[in-house]
């Protein structure tokens, strides 16, 4: 029995070694000296045209808000039509109306969104000033806040992954001026038993400046408590009603 086992192991080792040598031979095959051997022509790269003007949607973008209506948005609370104000091609938070979400769900994407903190009195400070948020898949928040000469906790100011990762720099515009976020988001992947196989990652470019660079998202972004990792699939883009009349415009997304 021992001899048979040894013979079997020897044969297996010889087969593995032969396969490895074959793979190595393919990997180190002598070059023919022709440039085309390292050129890949098919499939041809898909053509996408830019929006021309900075921030305008490219040809393959899904326009979520163009200033005309709120047809792509619903109330998070009950799924009814969004009840935020629509004026001058921007939508503005109505205090008490609640958070709103896109009707469509998304996974990995490039998101462009512009926001404006309102002109508010100096008596408002920290998180009480120009506060809102953008939630990827309805649960991971990139903070929106008036962080211009308005100090708050680092991981809660504009451009932060709320209560997790502070922005690299503060690039916030003055009250009443528009800010731009370009967000590249990779959704988390989960194992079949409910664990996190790959966490979510996000890059945020605020007014043309990188403030989050492929940042790992630790889980949900609650106001109180630790992040949680609940198994989920695609989810909506949600915007927060924090009581401040923050405005949004020119929102589009490219699925990846």
pLDDT in tens, 87-133: 999 999 999 999 999 999 999 999 999 999 998 888 788 998 999 99
Q: Which residues, 6 or more positions from 195, have their beta carbon under 8 angstroms from its beta carbon?
A: none
155: left (phi over 0), alpha (psi -120 to 50) or beta: alpha
Given pLDDT bands bounded at 50, 70 and 90, which one contains residue 19?
very low
Query: Over 60: is that where the pLDDT of 4 sits?
Result: no
Q: What share of the chain is helix, strand, coil (3-state, %, to 5)?
A: 15, 30, 55
CATH number for the region 62-255 comes to: 2.60.120.560
Distances (CA, A) of 196 to 111, 122, 191, 220, 228: 24, 43, 6, 13, 11
Residue 82 near residue 74, CB atoms below 8 Å:
yes
- Using pLDDT thresholds of 50, 70 and 90, give the confidence band for residue 140: very high
Q: Which of 233, 94, 116 is nearest to 181 (CA)?
A: 116
pLDDT at residue number 28: 56
Instruction: Answer whether residue 211 shows pLDDT above 70.
Output: yes
Q: Where are the domains of the chain?
A: 2-38, 62-255
Rounded to two decimals, what is the model's pTM?
0.84
């Amino acid at each position: 029995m021992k001899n048979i086992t040894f013979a079997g192991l020897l044969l297996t080792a010889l087969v593995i070694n032969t396969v490895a040598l074959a793979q190595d031979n393919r990997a180190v095959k002598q070059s023919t000296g022709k440039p085309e051997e390292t050129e890949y022509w098919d499939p041809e790269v898909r053509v996408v045209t830019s929006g021309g003007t900075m921030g305008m949607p490219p040809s393959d973008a899904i326009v979520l808000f163009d200033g005309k209506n709120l047809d792509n948005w619903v109330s998070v609370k009950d799924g009814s039509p969004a009840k935020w104000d629509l004026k001058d091609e921007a939508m503005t938070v109505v205090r008490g109306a609640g958070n709103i979400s896109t009707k469509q769900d998304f996974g990995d994407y490039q998101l462009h969104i512009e926001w404006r903190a309102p002109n508010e009195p100096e008596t408002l400070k920290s998180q009480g000033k120009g506060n809102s948020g953008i939630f990827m898949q309805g649960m991971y928040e990139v903070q929106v806040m008036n962080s211009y000469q308005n100090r708050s906790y680092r991981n809660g100011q504009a451009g932060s992954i709320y209560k997790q990762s502070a922005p690299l720099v503060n690039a916030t515009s003055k009250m009443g001026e528009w800010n731009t976020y370009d967000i590249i988001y990779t959704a988390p992947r989960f194992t079949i038993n409910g664990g996190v196989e790959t966490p979510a990652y996000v890059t945020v470019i605020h007014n043309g400046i990188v403030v989050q660079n492929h940042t790992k998202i630790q889980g949900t972004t609650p106001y109180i408590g630790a992040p949680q990792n609940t198994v989920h699939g695609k989810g909506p883009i949600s915007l927060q009603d924090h009581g401040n009349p923050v405005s949004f415009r020119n929102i589009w997304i490219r699925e990846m």
